[in-house]
Amino acid sequence: MELIFELSSPGRGAAAQHPPVAADLSAIPEALRRKEPPRLPEVSELQAVRHYTRLSRLNFSIDTQFYPLGSCTMKYNPRACNKLAMLPEFLGRHPLAPESHSQGYLACLYELQEMLRDVTGMAAVSLTPMAGAQGEFAGVAMIRAYHHARGDTARREILVPDAAHGTNPATATMLGYVAREIPTDAQGDVDIEKLKAAVGPQTAGIMLTNPSTLGVFERRIKEIAGIVHTAGGLLYYDGANLNAILGKVRPGDMGFDVIHMNLHKTFSTPHGGGGPGAGAVGVSERLRPFMPIPVVGVADGRENREKGDLGSLASNDSRFSTPDSRSYRWLDENDLPQSIGRLSAFMGNAGVLMRAYVYARLLGREGMHRVAEFAALNANYLSARLKAVGFDLAYPTRRASHEFIITLKKQKQELDLTATDVAKRLLDHGYHAPTVYFPLLVPECLLIEPTETEDLQTLDAFVDAMTSIWNEARSDMPKLKGAPWTLPVRRLDDVRCARQLDLRWQPAP
Ligand SMILES: *Cc1c(COP(=O)(O)O)cnc(C)c1O
């Protein structure tokens, strides 16, 4: 694979695309100007097109291949969501446009808040955090603000099960808490006895993922909620796995006080490559005053008139009013004086929020149920079939929620087959590898989430690939140890990649 610099030849270019402009550099001080032009590749338009098209084909993506990455829900996102969210009327909105000119947009966000509130069973929702991790930050900041507002400043600990995503203990630590680990029992549930021993007057709260990253639903969640609440702590729900329960059970009903949703996982924004996210937070009644601002609220006429400027146009001029003739406005520090404050510029990640809105409207209540049903059905079908091939499930007595874990502990001892070998060989079969070596407490594990958007044929073809790898481990181990064979980059030394990463390109002298 050539680098674009290697295709370069002096004087070549695509002048038709970018006619040369006479730059006026007079505003830039002499000392700050380049002495030589930058060494950019000089290629024709066609060379550039071919080069980047070739690169794009080397990528794994949902659009091209099955991508069963556990915990992260790499599912197919309907094109309609993207298309509607990208309408010029949304895309071209200026973030400083007055509320009176933004009533349609505000109505969409308000409805999104309401739909998310409804499906999670929380009292209110704020859309502004820009990632799951930032939603966690908002959530734990609210827990802290709640305790402090009551003069209760002695609580120093946040409890975190050992199966948790790394962002959970990191969040607790960033907010000045000590993250105290709670072990998981052999069935994959939180160890209740250890939990009881750990809670006390020092407990600010617990962060839980349910279903957990072990792919199982925490059956004693109500009991856990009781234990933590009785000790005066609050419950945080990591909503990264929300597709497993959408419309079926609600975190609010389980007793959670605050939840983040990864709208870029569950609600239709592709999130490979660390793209834009949205980590909307939902809160119970007691955390409502602390929500991050701004939040979209319904403007009643009186409030608008007192504010004088913005709202009045919306309520009097039919061009700006929504079909139900309600008008909307941003709630800010005047409405929520105890808010933890702003976490993002303006109102959060507008494009991701619009996609989530369109997706929720397309699905409706019935569709949300089907998301959870197919997420669970696909995971259970795949786990049952792989078990029949011979793979060991980490929690064989449990039903999978939307993802499940295979452990190669036995095959590692008997055949020296590792999770890395399976992951690398899957690439040769045209599949993105599942998550490997996470969660940390299961040795040689593969965390597999087929997601609700895959069909039976794809799942069966994946089982065929896994079966072929299973057989190869007994007939041709070098084939596995050397994989991948078909990709432009072969097996890398993981340690050197991490410790001595060098991605610079130097021109030949
Ligand atoms: C992805 C994920 C997070 C973090 O979310 P980001 O949007 O990546 O910041 C937290 N918890 C779990 C279980 C996750 O899968």
Question: Which DSSP symbol is given to 99?
Answer: G
Is residue 311 a part of any domain in this protein?
Answer: no
Quote the pLDDT of residue 324: 59
Is residue 115 a part of any domain in this protein?
Answer: yes
Quote the pLDDT of residue 320: 44
Pair 382, 341 in one domain: no
Pair of tokens at residue 351: 């494009």
Reference 339, options 146, 175, 123; nearest CA is: 146
210 CA → ligand 1 middle, Å: 13
Cβ–Cβ under 8 Å, residues 491 and 484: yes
Pocket test for ligand 1, best of 167, 236, 263 (most atoms within 8 A of CB): 167
3-class secondary-structure state, position 23: coil
d(CA 451, CA 75): 6
37 CA → ligand 1 middle, Å: 43
Cβ–Cβ under 8 Å, residues 72 and 241: no
d(CA 66, CA 391): 20
> pLDDT tens, 362-395?
999 999 999 999 999 999 999 999 999 999 999 9
Q: Which domain holds residue 464?
A: 370-496
Angle (deg, nearest 10), helices 167-174 and 132-149: 40
> pLDDT tens, 304-331?
433 333 333 334 444 444 455 789 999 9
Question: Which DSSP symbol is given to 293?
Answer: B
| Mean of pLDDT over the chain | 91
Could you identify the atom of ligand 1 that is nearest to the CA of residue 262?
A: 7
Could you identify the atom of ligand 1 that is nearest to the CA of residue 279?
A: 7
Pair 394, 431 in one domain: yes
Residue 175 has pLDDT above 90, yes or no: yes
Cβ–Cβ under 8 Å, residues 403 and 209: no
Is residue 90 a part of any domain in this protein?
Answer: no
Residue 284 has pLDDT above 90, yes or no: yes
Pair 22, 110 in one domain: no
Pair 442, 480 in one domain: yes
CA torsion 221-225-231-232 (nearest 10°) is: 150
Is the Cα torsion angle 281, 283, 288, 289 positive or negative in sign? negative
Q: How many domains does the chain fold into?
A: 3
| Residue 102's pLDDT band (cuts 50, 70, 90) | very high
Strand partners, 234: 205
Quote the pLDDT of residue 417: 97
120 CA → ligand 1 middle, Å: 17
Residue 484 has pLDDT above 90, yes or no: yes
250 CA → ligand 1 middle, Å: 19
Residue 360 has pLDDT above 90, yes or no: yes
3-class secondary-structure state, position 4: helix
Pocket test for ligand 1, best of 71, 213, 267 (most atoms within 8 A of CB): 71
374 CA → ligand 1 middle, Å: 21
Is residue 341 a part of any domain in this protein?
Answer: yes
Share of the chain above pLDDT 90, in %: 78
Instruction: For the chain, give the longest Cα–Cα distance.
Output: 79
Residue 460, Cβ neighbours under 10 Å: how many? Answer: 12
Q: By mean pLDDT, which of 242-246, 319-323, 342-346, 382-386 is the weakest?
A: 319-323
Pair 290, 329 in one domain: yes
Pair 334, 236 in one domain: yes
Is the Cα torsion angle 114, 115, 118, 120 positive or negative in sign? negative
- The single residue listed with the structure tokens 């993105």 is 432
Pair 346, 388 in one domain: no
Cβ–Cβ under 8 Å, residues 404 and 382: yes
Task: Tell the residue nearest (CA) to atom 7 of ligand 1.
Answer: 132
Pair 287, 351 in one domain: yes
d(CA 408, CA 473): 12
Pair 166, 295 in one domain: yes
Is residue 506 a part of any domain in this protein?
Answer: no
Is the Cα torsion angle 416, 421, 426, 428 positive or negative in sign? negative
438 CA → ligand 1 middle, Å: 13
Quote the pLDDT of residue 270: 80
Chain-centroid distance, C-alpha 329: 28
Residue 436 has pLDDT above 70, yes or no: yes
Is residue 19 a part of any domain in this protein?
Answer: yes
Q: By mean pLDDT, which of 58-62, 224-228, 334-338 is the weakest?
A: 58-62
Cβ–Cβ under 8 Å, residues 152 and 245: no
Could you identify the atom of ligand 1 that is nearest to the CA of residue 134?
A: 9
Pair 283, 384 in one domain: no
Is the Cα torsion angle 194, 195, 197, 202 positive or negative in sign? positive
Pocket test for ligand 1, best of 73, 128, 238 (most atoms within 8 A of CB): 238
How many residues appear in the chain? Answer: 509
What does pTM read for this prediction?
A: 0.88
Angle (deg, nearest 10), helices 419-428 and 456-475: 120
Question: Which DSSP symbol is given to 181?
Answer: E
CATH code (residue 473): 3.90.1150.10
Reference 189, options 165, 207, 216; nearest CA is: 216
- Any residues with Cβ below 6 Å from ligand 1, and which? 71-72, 131-133, 165, 167, 209, 213, 238, 240, 262, 277, 279
434 CA → ligand 1 middle, Å: 16
Is residue 488 a part of any domain in this protein?
Answer: yes
> pLDDT tens, 464-473?
999 999 999 9
Pair 210, 151 in one domain: yes
Could you identify the atom of ligand 1 that is nearest to the CA of residue 213?
A: 13
209 CA → ligand 1 middle, Å: 10
Q: Are strands 445-448 and 404-407 parallel, antiparallel or unpaired?
A: antiparallel
CATH code (residue 226): 3.40.640.10
Could you identify the atom of ligand 1 that is nearest to the CA of residue 164?
A: 13
CA torsion 471-476-477-478 (nearest 10°) is: -150
Task: Tell the residue nearest (CA) to atom 1 of ligand 1.
Answer: 72
d(CA 20, CA 394): 62
Reference 368, options 34, 116, 49; nearest CA is: 116
Residue 59 has pLDDT above 60, yes or no: yes
424 CA → ligand 1 middle, Å: 24
Is residue 82 a part of any domain in this protein?
Answer: no
Pair 250, 143 in one domain: yes
Chain-centroid distance, C-alpha 390: 32
CA atoms in the 13 A half-sphere facing the CB of 176: 8
